[in-house]
Structure 1
Amino acid sequence: MPKRPFPPPARRKKTPKAPETVDEYLAVAVELEESGERWRSGDIAKAGRFFVQAITAYETTLARYPDSFDARYNRARLLYTLTQLPLPSNFFPADSTAEGRLIAAVEAHKECNELERDSSDVLFNYGQTLSSLGEFYAHKDINPDDGNSHETATSELKRLLPAKEALEAAWQTLQQCLVIQEREYKATLAQTAAFDNDDYQNDNDDVLMDADDGGVKLPPSRRSSGTSSRSSGSGNGNTTQWAAIVEPTTTATLLDTALAMLDVHTSIIGLGGASTATSIFTEPYLNEITSNADATLTSYILPLAGKLHTEPDIDGTALAEREIEAALARANYLAELAELRYHLSLTTADLWEAAIKSAFDTITLQNPEDTTIRTVDLSTSWMALCDRSTAYATLAATVSATTPTQSWKVAAIAARDLKAATDLAPDKARPEVYLARANLELLRTLIPVAVNTDTSRSLLRKNAGVYCRNAVAAASSGLIGAVEGGKVKEVVEEARIKEALIGAEDGSVDGVQSLLAGGVTADRIRAVLRTAVEDGLFSRELLSKVW
């Protein structure tokens, strides 16, 4: 998230002096925040503790200087940061909930937006927090303590409507942000053109002046655009001056916001499951959502991505990553839309399958300002392969009972994608890829086709167990950072639980008992099992067999 410009921390002295001015108070908070950033890649819990101290320091600043917008902005940003870090479950007080922390971050950004209107940084951060709140509601567990129940259509709708509301607010906020950023972008271009003309005029003046003196042309001066100066008072009455560089709005900035908008649209569309699609989506509402998303794609994402290669400061690797990011955002949106249309009876399973294939096909990006065409092949991206596999697996699970032959076919395609993704994925991502392969093998065991014999199912289940163990082994490679490590820990725990559940379905609960003895809670096992049953990975009878 964009940071607010702030002064560098003051040098440490042997006897620290209590802060007296607003800038000295800010300097204390900034130093704590920067300490947290330094520990972020090594000890995520320690980083989190520094961030909590920084939040307290910003709040202390606000208690003394309530008009300090920098303190208010940075506090809001850190409140959101804490919601996104994979911190230990016992990091927060017992009365602190994930929902409460997200709502606090949303309210803090709302306050910033009310105090400083038309700030693209504030609006972007505000949109991100609203989007995260919507995602939280979309995946919130309604029955965390009831291991034998599954979510009814009524309770699911009760959960999804707040998600829809938060996501809609996120899109509107990001749309406002994009309008302001476009204005800033045009101003940046105009300023750059003015500087270029100024330099050209200066160059001509230099040529004339130097020619009169028999000299040579001088090179144009180097300029820095978008700078501003601020002053910080110190305790002894001296004034410290510093410069805050305001980052110009670029093509990449606009692309970031447009991609965030499309992600929000994709999330809204993803709310429409088999039992809730008709309750959430009317035809006019669906048309409005798709119209907005299509406009974001055609007017912003694709042309901006096609223009990235003209940016002077982007290297080949970064360019390829951003182009794939844009193409993948489009593919996931189209795949989610095809699924929703199926649930709304607006398309067939065959057309849904064709839409997935088309969405992930190679696409071209054309710069609207010239004839340059760049090709993006998503089959070279492990993330795209995983996402396409997920789309095919969802189709397979949905049509398993009605068209099992098609289900078996697309599940096999999904398996090939995950095998290819395993070879391409970095070390930090391999545990999650292996877990996805285990999930897919379990899904395939329940597809009722003639070729899926007892022998075939037994082999698939063994494969699933192997992939669960591979996920655990991949996580111990020693090449995973602290931030990724927190997420990987959850993947490893889920893999161990699912391997134990495979044994339980075969008649042995020893694996489950071993997990409980090793510290995995019964609630966690129930949650994984319930979700797996809902996803079609285990039979519902396993719920009563384990508990």
Structure 2
Amino acid sequence: MAKTKQFTKPPKKQKGKAVLPETADEYQEAADNQEETGGKWRAGDPAKSGRAFVRALEIYDKGLQRYPNSFDLAYNKARLELEITQQPALVSHIGLPLADLLKQTLNSHRYVLRLNEENPDALFNTSQVLTSLAEQLSEGHESSTAIPLLQEALELLSSCLSRQEMLLEQQQADLEDADEGGVALDVEERPASTTGSETSGQTFTIETPITASDLLDTVHASLSALTTLVSLVEAGTLETLGDMAHSLTEKRAPAYVGLLSADAQEAARFTVALDRASFVGAFADAQYNAYMIEAETYLARLEAFSIPGKEQNATALGSEAEARTELATSVIARFEGSSDLPLDLCWKQLSLAQDLYTKATKLGSSAQVYLSRGDVEMLRHRLASSPYTKVTDGLRKSAPTLALNAYTYYKGAVRLATDEDAGLKSKAQQRIAIASDVRVFLYGIEASADVDCLQSDKATGLVDCVEEGLLETALAEELAKSLPVK
């Protein structure tokens, strides 16, 4: 999920008789009031919250019509749009599909950068919009459109990081000049600097200083964009992206961690190590699929997840499980229809993934983890029931149980899904129906009565399951025959 950088809003004035805004500050204040209303209703009534946020955006638009050079109005409008895109429950009440809303948000951020192309928060937020839009497009099989967006995001993040480094260096120099003979403040403890006069009745902007945490946020965003990008580009580009990630994780991030207070460094190192491991896994997968490395090398690369303390971190456990599942999926895809499939390697990685997800659920359950657990069981079922690979009798006998497990985990995903997980819930419902059909078709088990999935959605789900390697193509085609003909 994209992380927005906040630009501190002007302090609120005493409420009085409602009047039409005249100054840029008054437009900002009016928008603030609508944002505050939207925030109050966000959890309890997303529709009411969405209407308030739409009113805030309209106020920003009117303000910018009168004050087109107001950086504060432009920035806060773009910031609000970005925040809305990260709340699925709100998006449905804005009146635009998510992809279109992201494109609108990108235009707003480009406008902000035209007003100030050096503002680090604006650079960071624009990169997050680009990354979110690229992820949407890549999920819709529009990789050729997503790639340049991710490349632009990385360029903006590079500019952001350079700007942050320069500002931090200047801040440190200013502190040394101001504290001659004294002790310089820690870079995480400096007070915010302000401009303007509170007593004059004029609103003013509070400019928070750059901290080491800001630089690490930018490193994290850069590695996330790189992790997404490596799965989309041609093989010839991989080495360059690998070099970029290496510079971030081995040179720049350690230097930034060293600027943190001592009690914050351990957590920061863990986060960087996890970002590095996730990139290494994605990079190895891209190299394997490009026939640049073999499965044994790929497997060895996943040792990057040997991070001290990961057993107490659900995100780390889930990330490693996802990487090991991806390894097995890619190997299965390479050997599809062949008796040479390294069954033991794939089975072991999927079993390890399931163990990792089990540990993660003990730290806190989520719909996504249960959906992933269902996918792992579908993959293991594919191996156990494969007509091409020599499978032991014991493993083949476990196939009906694996299909049942998948069905059960998908039901858990639906049960745990919230309003924020609408897309995930729909996918889980599709897969409940498909897992049920697998059990009926292959094992003669009576169809489940609690399947809640339209036939058209089931058809979409079958396509997705084949693309993700969860089902053999031949089996999916047989299941599709049972769907009504349009």
TM-score, normalised to structure 2, is 0.86
Deviations along 1:447-487, one digit per CA (max 9) or x if unpaired, are 14523644200111111122223334445xxxxxxxxx333
Cα distance in 1 for partners of 2:411, 2:101 equals 34
Partner of 2:219: 258
Partner of 1:466: 408
Cα distance in 1 for partners of 2:70, 2:204 equals 18
Pick one of 353, 361, 371 that aligns with 1:414: 353
1:158-237 mapped onto 2 (5 Å cutoff)? 159-197=142-180, 224-229=191-196
5+ long unaligned stretches in structure 1: 141-155, 202-221, 233-238, 273-279, 363-375, 476-484
CA contact (8 A) 1:171 1:261 kept: yes
Shift of 1:123: 0.7
Q: 1:412 to 1:394 in 2, by over 3 A?
A: same
Q: 1:325 to 1:544 in 2, by over 3 A?
A: farther
Cα distance in 2 for partners of 1:309, 1:290 equals 30
Task: Supply the AA of the counterpart residue of 1:424.
Answer: L
Shift of 1:197: 2.0
Partner of 1:368: none
Shift of 1:441: 0.6
CA contact (8 A) 2:63 2:73 kept: yes
Pick one of 376, 379, 394 that aligns with 1:443: 379
Q: 1:58 to 1:189 in 2, by over 3 A?
A: same
Partner of 1:346: 292
Q: 1:270 to 1:200 in 2, by over 3 A?
A: closer
Cα distance in 1 for partners of 2:38, 2:132 equals 22
Cα distance in 2 for partners of 1:50, 1:423 equals 39
RMSD: 2.7
Deviations along 1:185-239, one digit per CA (max 9) or x if unpaired, are 11121222233227689xxxxxxxxxxxxxxxxxxxx99452211579xxxxxx5
Task: Supply the AA of the counterpart residue of 1:124.
Answer: F
Partner of 1:286: 238
Partner of 1:22: 24
Cα distance in 1 for partners of 2:70, 2:407 equals 56
Task: Supply the AA of the counterpart residue of 1:530.
Answer: V
User: Which gives a bigger RCO, structure 1 or 2 (Cα 8 Å, sep 6+)?
Assistant: 1
Q: 1:546 to 1:328 in 2, by over 3 A?
A: farther
Partner of 1:40: 42
Partner of 2:98: 98
Pick one of 356, 360, 382 that aligns with 2:305: 360
Partner of 2:85: 83
CA contact (8 A) 1:386 1:421 kept: yes
Cα distance in 1 for partners of 2:317, 2:289 equals 24
Shift of 1:181: 0.3
CA contact (8 A) 2:81 2:105 kept: yes
Equivalent pairs counted in the alignment come to 456
Deviations along 1:256-297, one digit per CA (max 9) or x if unpaired, are 01111111111110225xxxxxxx232xx2222111121111
Q: 1:7 to 1:166 in 2, by over 3 A?
A: same
Partner of 1:326: 272
Q: 1:326 to 1:524 in 2, by over 3 A?
A: farther
Shift of 1:339: 0.8
Cα distance in 1 for partners of 2:228, 2:72 equals 32
CA contact (8 A) 2:106 2:126 kept: yes
Shift of 1:523: 4.7
SS of match in other structure, 1:2: coil
Deviations along 1:4-24, one digit per CA (max 9) or x if unpaired, are 3332333323x4222222221
Shift of 1:241: 3.8
Of the structure 1 ranges 463-472 and 125-134, higher mean CA displacement relative to structure 2 is found in 463-472
Pick one of 504, 529, 539 that aligns with 2:437: 504
- Report the structure number with the largest CA radius of gyration: 1
CA contact (8 A) 1:497 1:512 kept: no
Cα distance in 1 for partners of 2:367, 2:110 equals 37
Cα distance in 2 for partners of 1:526, 1:12 equals 56
CA contact (8 A) 1:501 1:512 kept: no
1:413-432 mapped onto 2 (5 Å cutoff)? 413-425=352-364, 429-432=365-368
Task: Supply the AA of the counterpart residue of 1:266.
Answer: T
Q: 1:320 to 1:511 in 2, by over 3 A?
A: farther
Cα distance in 2 for partners of 1:415, 1:52 equals 43
Partner of 1:123: 123
1:295-314 mapped onto 2 (5 Å cutoff)? 295-310=247-262
TM-score, normalised to structure 1, is 0.77
CA contact (8 A) 1:127 1:170 kept: yes
CA contact (8 A) 2:84 2:90 kept: no
SS of match in other structure, 2:398: helix
5+ long unaligned stretches in structure 2: 336-340
